[in-house]
Amino acid sequence: MKVIKKAILSSLLLGLVGTSLAGCGGTNNSPGDSPASSNASVDPVTIKWYVTSGNGNMPVTQQLLADYKAESGVNVELQVVPGDGEAIYKKVDVDLSAGGDVDLITMQNAIVLSKYATNDWLLPLNDIYKEAGYDYETKFGKNLNKFDGDTIYTLPDGLVSWVVFYNKKIFDDANVPYPSGEWTWDQYIETAKKLTDPSKGIYGSSMPDYDTILYLLAQQQGVNAYKADGTSNYDDPAFKESLQWYGELGNTLKIQPSWLEIKSKKIPYDAFMTGKYGMQLIGSWYTFAPQDLKTYPRDWKIGLTQIPVDPQGKNGISTSGGIAVNKASKHSKEAADFVRWFAENNYKYSGGMTAQVNLNDEESNKIFTEIAAKFPALDGITAEDLKAALVTPNLGAVPEKITGSIPTDYGNIILQEGELYLVGQKSLDDAISSIKTRANEAIKKQSTIH
Amino acid sequence: MSILHRNKPDFSPEKIYKKRRLSLEKQEARAALVFVLPFFIGFVIFGLAPFFYALYISFMDFNSFKSLDSLKWTGLSNYKAILNDSVAISSYFKSFYYTIIYVPLLTVAGFLAAVLLNKSFYLKAFSRSLFLMPYVANIVAISIVFTMLFDPFGGIVNIVLTKIGVDHPPLWFAGTQTAILTTALVAVWANFPFQMIVYLAALQGVPRDLYEAAEIDGATRWQKLSRITLPMVSPTTFFLVITATIGSFQNFTIFNALTRGGPGIASRVASLNMYEEAFSLNHYSYSAAQAIVLFVIILLISAIQWGGQKKWVHY
């Protein structure tokens, strides 16, 4: 009966999604024929890893797998999921529910991790690492994502901090000094006003259209989105203030495109690279764009600095992803070892920041020097510039996203109801009230239908 | 009569003819089965089986991604949850609102285009081809073009409206009051050629002598249209209305391409809501329950339309 059920679900649900992993994207890209393999005489263990088509096709991914095999003798086979971003999880969910035995699942952000962890789909790694004598606390410290107190399902494979990229030409033309060091949102707004020039189609600021941006100030202040009893805390004045503040940037101050303009014109996330925006607030993952002159040709220089803060919340915003192990993995120890290796070494391949906290100055400087070297020479970005923007000892750290019991739903509700305020079709109070009501409904529904 | 005589085969001409006829009928029946079988197998696998599976999981607790082995029977709890879900309830009303805009406009547009193209004029064949173009256009291309046309910031539609003195032109896809209406208009534009072709065939089947007799009696154009054309094509109208109504509830693609349910949830119709519940929130059983409710709603509407046809459809 179980076999029949699985067979039916496999065919029907995969049919609903439209593409099957095996049919459309599953490829065996294992570097099994790597000359570096040291265990050629023994049948190596093969573990499978869901990756996006974008990551799967990158040469560095192949190099990374080859290096890991050379070191461990374990094959890591890519299970490429068509699509990019969070869209892949729709297919991953179906595949897992239908009995998919892929060992490793990439957790792109805290919401994804929270969703899989709360659904009890992931293998806790604490015991495996303790048994192997691996001290993950010392390695990753405050950057570890922990659940229910102490449980870890993944190790952070990098660290993304929110920063401000700026267009030096627009600053120079407006005769405005480049920002550096700690600064406030009031200073950011004043700077953006000076940079904005409607006659040239230049906005002083640009921000992404994520849910985070609608509760940015509250997040920086460390306000919890849930009350102690588990219900929504969105009636806290900080959330209202945040939404209103963001709305005014586009609608009243006009230092950046309004939400209506972003949506109706479908302004893309990389619009800053057109050279028409003075500053871009975004995660440090965005460094790939200034580094890529082929896709984003430009003759203007880029700088970067740390995220502005509110006097009530002197916190930077950071997030990290990682790989988690499927609870049903048949090679859990090998999979956990790859998670460890990837978390420790990914920065060498991706060119991003590592989440390891126990690096000495020399190691740390080496990483920043390597990242800086990837920027075009015209930008003149140094390791010190990067350190100043990304390592912010003057600031605390708060997570990027609201997670908790309804991680996906909460963000969706904030975006949907917040949008109505931002496009002028709902009052601020009504929007906040709707977010709280719907979040509470979702929390209740979560317990009703489970 | 001896036993031997009684068992003697009957080779009479009638009997042979009857046997041959039966054999031919059997052969035809078998041939028919062979022709029907591919469709029937496909229908069972891709139509009936998913439907019954959706019905089955709508009573289970498949509301987080979990192994099928651990599913449990939850009775009507998913259906009861719909009653307390304001977003789900409103999504049904939004679907219905879309239907009552889309179906009449689509039918009228298809009929008027067919009447126009049924006349003789210069470049008639070329004109018919032009009218068909929206129907063969890709929905993504359509969404890009109409998003640009209806862009509140510099879209050509609002530029024209502003030029002719409209102070506050609509927000179209970005307006809570206009998102569904605008999407329905685009859907009518994209789909009316099908109605037009079917009507064109029906119009060409209306006997000319009816019009000639009416002309002799002094009937006006309107009278010919309302007393001859409309009644004569009413079976076609019934077919088109009932299929358009059913199709109008299957509107995921166009809403996903044009509004994604926004602004906010202003255009989050039932199909979009089900998709979000299933594939964003992993509420598979809950989504299946919503789909079954939608199925019942469509069934009821179709039954009402079927029952009402006696009053206006002339066979």
Name the DSSP letter for residue A23: I
Q: What is the mean pLDDT of residues A102-107?
A: 92
Does residue A301 sit in the same domain as residue A392? Answer: yes
Residue A57 tokens, joined: 């096709």
Best mutation site among B62, B68, B286 for testing chain A: the one with the most A CBs within 10 Å? B68
H or E element that contains A28: none
**CATH at A209:** 3.40.190.10
Local confidence pLDDT in tens for the 315 residues of chain B: 444 455 666 677 777 777 776 678 888 888 999 999 999 999 999 999 999 999 999 999 988 777 777 789 999 999 999 998 999 999 999 999 999 999 999 999 999 999 999 888 888 888 888 888 898 899 989 999 999 999 988 899 999 999 999 988 999 999 999 999 999 999 999 999 999 999 999 999 999 999 999 999 999 999 999 999 999 999 999 999 999 999 999 999 999 999 999 899 999 999 999 999 998 888 999 999 999 999 999 999 999 999 988 888 887
Q: Is residue A367 part of a domain?
A: no
Which chain B residue has its CA at the smallest distance from A16's CA?
B50
Q: How far is CA B15 from CA B8, B18, B24, B25, B113, in A?
A: 13, 5, 14, 15, 59
Q: What is the mean pLDDT of residues A50-60?
A: 82
Does residue A153 sit in the same domain as residue A30? Answer: yes
Contact check, Cβ <8 Å, A416/B264: yes
Does residue A74 sit in the same domain as residue A184? Answer: no
Task: Using pLDDT thresholds of 50, 70 and 90, give the confidence band for residue A11.
Answer: very low
Q: Which of A169, A162, A188, A221 is nearest to A389 (CA)?
A: A162
Of A64-68, A98-102, A215-219, A384-388, the least confident:
A98-102
Residues of A in contact with B53 (CB under 8 A): 8-9, 12
Say how far apart CA A185 and CA A192 lie, in whole Å.
10
Say how far apart CA A450 and CA B81 lie, in whole Å.
11
Residues of B in contact with A6 (CB under 8 A): 68
Which chain A residue has its CA at the smallest distance from B45's CA?
A12
Task: Using pLDDT thresholds of 50, 70 and 90, give the confidence band for residue A21.
Answer: very low
- Whether residue B150 contacts residue B178, with contact meaning beta carbons closer than 8 Å, is answered with no
More confident residue, A142 or B84: B84
Q: Is residue A283 part of a domain?
A: yes
Q: Is residue A16 part of a domain?
A: yes
Whether B134 has its CB under 8 Å from any CB of chain A: the answer is no
In chain A, the percentage of residues whose pLDDT exceeds 70 is 89
Please, which residues have CB within 8 angstroms of residue B223's CB and are 6 or more apart in sequence?
B214
Residues of A with CB under 8 A from a CB of B: 2, 5-6, 8-9, 11-13, 15-17, 90, 93, 96-99, 115, 119-121, 260-261, 263-266, 328, 408-409, 412, 416-417, 419-420, 423, 425-426, 438, 441, 444-445, 448-450
Give pLDDT tens digits for A192-238: 999 999 999 999 999 999 999 999 999 999 999 999 999 999 999 99
Domain end (from A331, A358, A385): A358
Q: Is residue A292 part of a domain?
A: yes
Residues of A in contact with B85 (CB under 8 A): 441, 445
Whether B84 has its CB under 8 Å from any CB of chain A: the answer is yes
Say how far apart CA B201 and CA B194 lie, in whole Å.
11
Contact check, Cβ <8 Å, B280/A408: yes
Q: Is residue A364 part of a domain?
A: no
Give residues 164 to 193 of B whose Cβ lies within 8 Å of A.
171, 173-176
Does residue A208 sit in the same domain as residue A308? Answer: yes
Q: How far is CA A301 from CA A22, A168, A203, B36, B200, in A?
A: 45, 5, 17, 68, 63
How many contiguous H segments (helices) and E segments (strands) does chain A have?
Answer: 19, 13
Instruction: Tell me the HSE value of A298 on the side-chain side, using a 13 A CA sphere.
Output: 24
Give the helix, strand, coil percentages of chain A, each rounded to 5. 50, 15, 35
Q: Is residue A44 part of a domain?
A: yes
Contact check, Cβ <8 Å, A264/B174: yes
The shortest CB-CB distance from B264 to any of A15, A90, A420 is to A420
What range defines the domain where residue A26 resides?
Answer: 2-158+320-358
More confident residue, B113 or A358: B113
Does residue A406 sit in the same domain as residue A292? Answer: yes
Please, which residues have CB within 8 angstroms of residue A171's CB and are 6 or more apart in sequence?
A177, A178, A195, A278
Contact check, Cβ <8 Å, B286/A449: yes
Q: Is residue A192 part of a domain?
A: yes
Give pLDDT tens digits for A85-102: 677 888 888 788 777 789
Does residue A270 sit in the same domain as residue A296? Answer: yes
Give pLDDT tens digits for A287-336: 989 999 999 999 999 999 999 998 888 899 988 889 999 988 999 999 99
Residues of B in contact with A419 (CB under 8 A): 262-264
Does residue A184 sit in the same domain as residue A96? Answer: no
Say how far apart CA A157 and CA A106 lie, in whole Å.
10
Residues paired with A318 in a beta bridge: A161, A399
Domain end (from A358, A385, A416): A358
Q: Is residue A366 part of a domain?
A: no
Name the DSSP letter for residue A24: I
Distance (Å) from the alpha carbon of A17 to chain B's nearest alpha carbon: 9
Does residue A282 sit in the same domain as residue A421? Answer: yes
Contact check, Cβ <8 Å, A449/B151: no
Number of domain units in chain A? 2
Does residue A211 sit in the same domain as residue A254? Answer: yes
Does residue A51 sit in the same domain as residue A148? Answer: yes
SS (H, E, C) chain B: CCHHHHCCCCCCHHHHHHHHHHHHHHHHHHHHHHHHHHHHHHHHHHHHHHHHHHHHHCCECCCCCCCHHHCCECCCHHHHHHHCCHHHHHHHHHHHHHHHHHHHHHHHHHHHHHHHHCCCCCCHHHHHHHHHHHHHCCHHHHHHHHHHHCCCCCCHHHHHHHHCCCCCCCCHHHCCCCHHHHHHHHHHHHHHHHHHHHHHHHHHCCCHHHHHHHHHCCCCHHHHHHHHHHHHCHHHHHHHHHHHHHHHHCCHHHHHHHCCCCCCCCCCCHHHHHHHHHHHCCCHHHHHHHHHHHHHHHHHHHHHHHHHHHHCCCC
Residue B228 tokens, joined: 């001859």
Does residue A112 sit in the same domain as residue A258? Answer: no
Give residues 10 to 69 of B whose Cβ lies within 8 Å of A.
45-46, 49-50, 53, 61-69
Does residue A108 sit in the same domain as residue A231? Answer: no
pLDDT of residue A60: 85
Give pLDDT tens digits for A269-283: 999 999 999 999 999
